[in-house]
């Protein structure tokens, strides 16, 4: 046992932070006296209780508040989130206003369940440094009420406008999700946590029934605590078997999670914590038997999901708890109360595994009842846990309580160790520990996964209608890189394996598409479900026109009413056309243009995008060109009118550009809240002076065709309406040369583009040069020159 660092209250530095008041509020729709309170009202009620709980004069404390800090509700935690009954535009000051308080500082914390403990640690440190004296932290959710009353004829309006400065820290979602994960179905918490859960089961070598029994045994005691908690949203005691037996009510959500073991977000709950410096507590006459000290604390962040060494563990969370105990000078055995964030079983198991705690520890692992049973009060759950812990510690002076607060996908972990025993403020070493975590080597990731692989972990998502979506994280056999993929629709054998079998280590076959990676049981099934597309031109394209004349291919984007902007189907057709072009030895040059005289291409079809339909581009990028690795034959852009956004990126990807006098070039993405992610941010700064590129990218400045010619973005400018004819003239000049030489020249330019030293680039040994020197075109060109005749190119 360690020795806690304690002292007497008389010996404390006056700036020492101390918790002096806690409060909770809640209501259930089915309860008598249900009032349908807003999030602000729930938080204000909890805040009133926290001030009163201090035992001091409530008005005096409200007047003394210098800082209020609010936890984000779900409805303000992500861009575009709906608030069906309206919301406050300054949540912290809305709550403060109801307390008749006017603090100098108001904070709106980032999203994440770590927020309550993180804010308390942060504000306690500010007090220890003399930058604050009285602070109130609070949060609330009224999700149940919002859903219940959203369709009511006389629904309430929770909209509020409050003036005053607000320190809005933003959503804080960086690194917590990605378009890539979402494209593979990992756009919800149960699915991501299920991956961790199944990875842990694999490590332990447990069968499905054995692991389900462990989940049930872990959470059954949580239901007992919730059943005795008057603030619990689901105050029902259930045994282990009931928790994990799939029934109509306890439907499976994401394997291995039935509904009863998943965080319950339909709650109406609020909680608040009042902090003061010792000097302020004395000045405001807060009785010392109300004081609770933060003995230890830590804040650490885990790596992003796909780069973690072991998807069944979170070493950062374990390190955070260990370090908080170390700062407090105690060990796990010294704790009287424990509350581990329990949105799903795995965050609790993770700490138990790391600290050697028995999941059946008689002290219990929750003081509230846990998120599936007490309620997952959005980002604010741990505020309730802290309030409960403070009450218990006051009832047993001198004991210690642990709070473990988890955010994201086991991404952020904040911990606190509390006791009524007086203790000086002690700083933690979280920054140094974070540096160590960040220095660990990440697992390599394959965004595009192709070839044989093995299953590392998996889950199956279930719709209410029973529809299954299989999601796999695997390792490629070729190089060991990790990838995420969806089980291919139609591969019933693989879906059955993922649903009922033992997939760990199973060999599967992966293939990448513009819509993401897919896995099947084997390569034969992959070819059956996704027959290889023949690289030949068709005559039935819906959004593209093609014209073949000798060795020249003309491609026209045929969406003039949409200014030739591109949506997934148009991109797909262009990708198919250029696959055929690059594969056909009789096609030597291609021209790409847009139908009509208004636009070459106006970029992404934003109207289609705003419709909510899924947006994707082929693996080869916008128009099948911007991400194509081997542009082994010339493509000429004939720009007539606007080349905006993605349209300009297409032109930048082409080898040659002919523009008419009406052409305008711009990367306009910043004007609509996007970025030029299809190559514009890379290619434009390499094509024009850096300052000009920055101006165009940051302001959306448009270049005329004359300006584009001056800066080398286009090869030729022709009269209005003659871009295509100008491109044809340029194509004829290219066609006069050897197609074999043209291809070799393009290859050598591509190979040497990244070589900084000129002589190294000049002496680069390219296989293209060797192949050219033994080609029939090389012999024909020299012979024709000697015979003073026009060469008869054979393209071989």
**Residue 648 near residue 683 (C-beta atoms within 8 A):** no
Q: What is the separation of C-alpha 602 from the centre of its chain, rounded to a whole number of angstroms?
A: 28
Distance of alpha carbon 179 from alpha carbon 447, whole angstroms: 11
Q: Where on the phi/psi map is residue 273: left (φ > 0), alpha (ψ -120 to 50), or beta?
A: beta
Q: The tokens 């960040």 sit on which residue?
A: 438
Provide Rg for the chain, Cα atoms.
Answer: 32
Give the bridge partners for 470, in sequence order. 460
Distance of alpha carbon 483 from alpha carbon 444, whole angstroms: 9
Distance of alpha carbon 289 from alpha carbon 19, whole angstroms: 11
Q: Residue 685: which H helix or E strand, with range?
A: helix 680-687
The answer to whether residue 109 is catalytic is no
Other Cβ atoms less than 10 A from the Cβ of 586: the count is 10
Distance of alpha carbon 651 from alpha carbon 239, whole angstroms: 64
Classify 125 as helix, strand or coil.
helix
The dihedrals phi and psi of 337, each to the nearest 5 degrees, come to -130, 150
Q: Where on the phi/psi map is residue 36: left (φ > 0), alpha (ψ -120 to 50), or beta?
A: left
Give the bridge partners for 139, in sequence order. 271
DSSP label of 48: H
Q: What are the residues whose beta carbons fall under 8 Å from the beta carbon of 531, sequence distance 6 or more?
A: none
DSSP label of 595: S
Q: Please, what's the largest Cα pairwise distance for the chain?
A: 109
Give the bridge partners for 473, in sequence order. 457, 484
Among 122, 129, 669, 719, the one annotated catalytic: 669
Q: The tokens 């999203």 sit on which residue?
A: 111
Nearest CA to 233 out of 256, 260, 203 is that of: 260
Give the bridge partners for 419, in sequence order. 293, 400
**Residue 641 near residue 664 (C-beta atoms within 8 A):** yes
DSSP label of 293: E
Q: How far is CA 671 from CA 489, 604, 651, 674, 697, in A?
A: 38, 13, 20, 7, 10
Q: How far is CA 336 from CA 25, 29, 418, in A?
A: 25, 34, 10
Distance of alpha carbon 460 from alpha carbon 496, whole angstroms: 10
Distance of alpha carbon 260 from alpha carbon 676, whole angstroms: 44
Q: Residue 221: which H helix or E strand, with range?
A: helix 208-227
Give the bridge partners for 153, in sequence order. none
780 CB-contact burial (10 Å; exposed 0-12 / middle 13-18 / buried 19+): middle
Nearest CA to 77 out of 352, 521, 379, 369 is that of: 379
Among 27, 41, 109, 649, the one annotated catalytic: 649
**Residue 456 near residue 311 (C-beta atoms within 8 A):** yes
Identify each DSSP E strand in 558-661 by its residue range: 589-594, 599-601, 635-639, 642-644, 656-660
The answer to whether residue 133 is catalytic is no
Q: Give the length of the chain.
A: 796
Tell me the CB-side half-sphere exposure of residue 634, using CA atoms within 13 A. 27
Distance of alpha carbon 513 from alpha carbon 526, whole angstroms: 12
Q: What are the residues whose beta carbons fall under 8 Å from the beta carbon of 533, sequence distance 6 or more?
A: 576, 579
Other Cβ atoms less than 10 A from the Cβ of 582: the count is 18
Task: Cite the active site residues.
Answer: 649, 669
């Amino acid at each position: 046992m360690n020795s806690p660092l304690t002292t007497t209250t008389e010996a404390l530095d006056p700036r020492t932070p101390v918790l002096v008041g806690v409060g909770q509020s809640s209501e259930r729709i089915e309860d008598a006296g249900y009032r349908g309170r807003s999030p602000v009202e729930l938080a204000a009620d909890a805040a009133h209780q926290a001030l009163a709980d201090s035992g001091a004069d409530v008005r005096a404390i409200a007047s003394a508040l210098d800082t209020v800090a609010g936890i984000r509700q779900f409805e303000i935690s992500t861009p575009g989130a709906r608030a069906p009954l309206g919301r406050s535009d300054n949540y912290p000051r809305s709550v403060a206003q109801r307390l008749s308080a006017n603090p100098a500082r108001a904070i709106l914390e980032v999203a994440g369940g770590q927020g309550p403990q993180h804010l308390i640690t942060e504000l306690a440190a500010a007090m220890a440094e003399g930058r604050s004296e009285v602070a109130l932290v609070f949060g609330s959710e009224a999700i149940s009420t919002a859903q219940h009353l959203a369709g009511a004829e006389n629904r309430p309006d929770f909209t509020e406008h409050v003036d005053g400065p607000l320190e809005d820290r933003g959503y804080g979602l960086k690194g917590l999700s990605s378009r890539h994960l979402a494209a593979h179905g990992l756009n919800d918490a149960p699915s991501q946590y299920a991956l961790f859960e199944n990875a842990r089961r694999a490590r332990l070598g447990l069968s499905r029934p054995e692991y389900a029994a462990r989940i049930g045994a872990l959470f059954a005691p949580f239901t007992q605590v919730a059943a005795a908690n008057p603030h619990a949203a689901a105050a029902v005691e259930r045994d282990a078997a009931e928790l994990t037996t799939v029934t109509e009510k306890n439907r499976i959500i994401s394997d291995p999670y039935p509904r009863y073991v998943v965080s319950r977000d339909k709650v109406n709950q609020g909680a608040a914590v009042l902090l003061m410096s010792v000097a302020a507590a004395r000045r405001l006459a807060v009785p010392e038997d109300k004081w609770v000290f933060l003995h230890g604390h830590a804040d650490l962040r885990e790596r992003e999901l796909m780069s973690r060494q072991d998807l069944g563990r979170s070493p950062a969370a374990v390190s955070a708890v260990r370090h908080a105990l170390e700062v407090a000078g105690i060990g796990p055995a010294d704790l009287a109360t424990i509350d581990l964030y329990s949105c799903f079983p795995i965050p609790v198991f993770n700490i138990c595994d790391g600290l050697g705690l028995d999941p059946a520890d008689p002290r219990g692992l929750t003081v509230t009842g846990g998120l599936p049973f007490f309620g997952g009060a959005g980002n604010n759950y741990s505020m309730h846990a802290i309030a409960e812990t403070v009450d218990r510690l006051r009832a047993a002076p001198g004991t210690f309580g642990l709070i473990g607060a988890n955010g994201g996908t086991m991404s952020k972990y904040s911990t606190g160790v509390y006791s009524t025993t007086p203790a000086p403020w002690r700083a933690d070493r979280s920054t140094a520990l974070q540096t160590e975590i960040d220095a660990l080597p990440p697992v390599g990731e394959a965004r595009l996964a192709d070839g044989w692989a093995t299953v590392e972990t998996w889950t199956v998502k279930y719709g209410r209608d029973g529809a299954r979506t299989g999601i796999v994280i695997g390792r490629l056999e070729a190089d060991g890189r990790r990838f995420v993929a969806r089980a291919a629709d139609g591969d019933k054998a693989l879906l059955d394996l993922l649903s009922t079998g033992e997939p760990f280590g199973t060999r599967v076959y992966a293939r990448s598409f513009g819509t993401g990676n897919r896995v099947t049981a084997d390569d034969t099934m992959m070819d059956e479900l996704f027959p290889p597309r023949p690289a030949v031109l068709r005559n039935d394209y819906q959004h593209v026109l093609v014209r073949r004349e000798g060795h020249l291919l003309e491609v026209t984007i045929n969406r003039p009413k949409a200014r030739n902007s591109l949506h997934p189907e148009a991109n797909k057709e262009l990708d198919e056309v250029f696959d055929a072009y690059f594969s056909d030895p009789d096609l030597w040059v291609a021209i790409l243009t847009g139908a009509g005289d208004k636009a070459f291409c106006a970029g992404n079809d934003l109207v289609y995008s705003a419709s909510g339909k899924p947006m994707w581009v082929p693996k080869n990028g916008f128009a099948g060109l911007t991400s194509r690795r081997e542009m082994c034959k010339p493509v000429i852009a004939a720009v007539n009118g606007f080349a905006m956004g993605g349209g300009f990126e297409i032109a930048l990807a082409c080898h040659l550009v002919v523009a008419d006098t009406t052409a305008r070039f711009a990367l306009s993405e910043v004007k609509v809240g996007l970025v030029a992610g299809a190559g514009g941010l890379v290619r434009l700064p390499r094509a024009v002076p850096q300052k000009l590129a920055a101006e165009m990218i940051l302001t959306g400045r448009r270049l005329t065709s004359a300006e584009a010619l001056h800066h080398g973005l286009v090869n030729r400018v022709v009269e209005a309406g003659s871009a295509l004819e100008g491109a044809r003239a340029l194509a004829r000049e290219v066609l006069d040369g050897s197609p074999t030489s043209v291809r070799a020249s393009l290859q050598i330019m591509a190979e040497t583009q990244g070589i900084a030293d000129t002589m190294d680039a000049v002496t680069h040994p390219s296989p293209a040069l060797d192949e050219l020197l033994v080609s029939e075109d090389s012999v024909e060109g020299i012979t024709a020159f000697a015979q003073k005749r026009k060469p008869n190119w054979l393209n071989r």
